[in-house]
Structure 1
């Protein structure tokens, strides 16, 4: 059971609302949404939950520091010992980014992140991507200098794998080459990876449906491709949906989303391997050099992905 949620507050373009469990504890679960409404809001949690919605639907790159400061202030006021940020897709990228910024702000605290099918970078622009919302974000950045600066500054979250006080669990679809490449690009001693046996981008939605009756799975798969799914690049014909249903029904031994959350709270930092400091310095130098070179180039022409709905 949970107590009535506190009044929502605005931080930059984000809406935050804290909901306390009736039995208090030392954990704060931060659930980031890909949309202007809260994600997993109807779900019952045994922990206090801070729900975050993104008013700009912009990968959490705008107002990032203000959001990280607000989350840590709530964590301090509530005397929470453990903080876990959770999100999927755009919010998975956001959980890594905001968690990384918070970890830099508070080197005295361990920050935990559970990211489902996240991007490792959204900057620089990749024309071949088949996600309309991604292209729309870059089209806006090409016209808004402030957003463009935010994208340059916060558009790559690979730095989180180098932080000694951030621990991340990255869950990705193991049969999706693009998502797997992005997940494995997050490489460091404090990053764990878990593959889900599917090609569908929405690994989080997949895990939300395991161990359910077939009728519920079929209805859930239909919902997965409805509404805003096209905006996230999710397309599937009837045969592909049936394949996905069979994959979910066969995946009952996998941990559910709730079980992933429980396990992520127990993650702890690992000691750095020999030579890790030198590898980190070299990786940072390469990223800085690449960023300087990109600044010399004009902003690329933004296109809609082939075969997808227009992104404007």
Structure 2
């Protein structure tokens, strides 16, 4: 009886594994085809009969991406915006720590007010934010692109939920030993919060790397465009150059996949919002 049960269970696991493997292959196939097509010439991509692997491998698409596509400037802007977003990550962590471990007047109301902003679509606030930045003469600048995205309600909520589960006794013991609030935050709270920091770091990187709508609105000069805006511009200027478009799309997607594969083990840990007490 036990032998039959184990055999059936092993068979069911095998069937489920095959289904998941097939589904995973179907999911990754378009990305793989896009990446391989970026090494094909435009003439080869335009052929009626397509080969999955390039017949003649070429790096010209990537070369043209930076020479004629101006992707070097877009990459620099995107990296600056992404790195600046990680400064905002620390601001979010500080706010979450404040809501989690400090008592002050109006704390509950203020936290509800922060959460309520998650219900407002970003498109609604774009015009008021644009007008404010215009009054500050920050339109068509990298600073104007960076500032509105430095803090976010979801990130503050995520940090607050995680840090609320950190034992108060650890913080009190540090205070009794004479540790300052800054020391407690940098040397105790942040190391304990590594899982949620990793998750929010991934989300921050993806948000900065894929920034499209706001940079498109706030920037009038191409020297302030990001990779996403540059890719859209590339598709409009080189409509029939499919190899160049595939190279641009691959250049956008591959870094995100690499970052995700490196830090994927932290995702479930972070969203579980649990901390050891």
State TM-score, norm by structure 2. Answer: 0.23
Using CA pairs under 8 Å that are at least 6 residues apart, name the structure with larger relative contact order, 1 or 2.
Answer: 2
- How high is the TM-score relative to the length of structure 1? 0.21
When you count helix as a share of all residues, which structure comes out higher? 2
Q: Which one has the bigger strand percentage?
A: 1
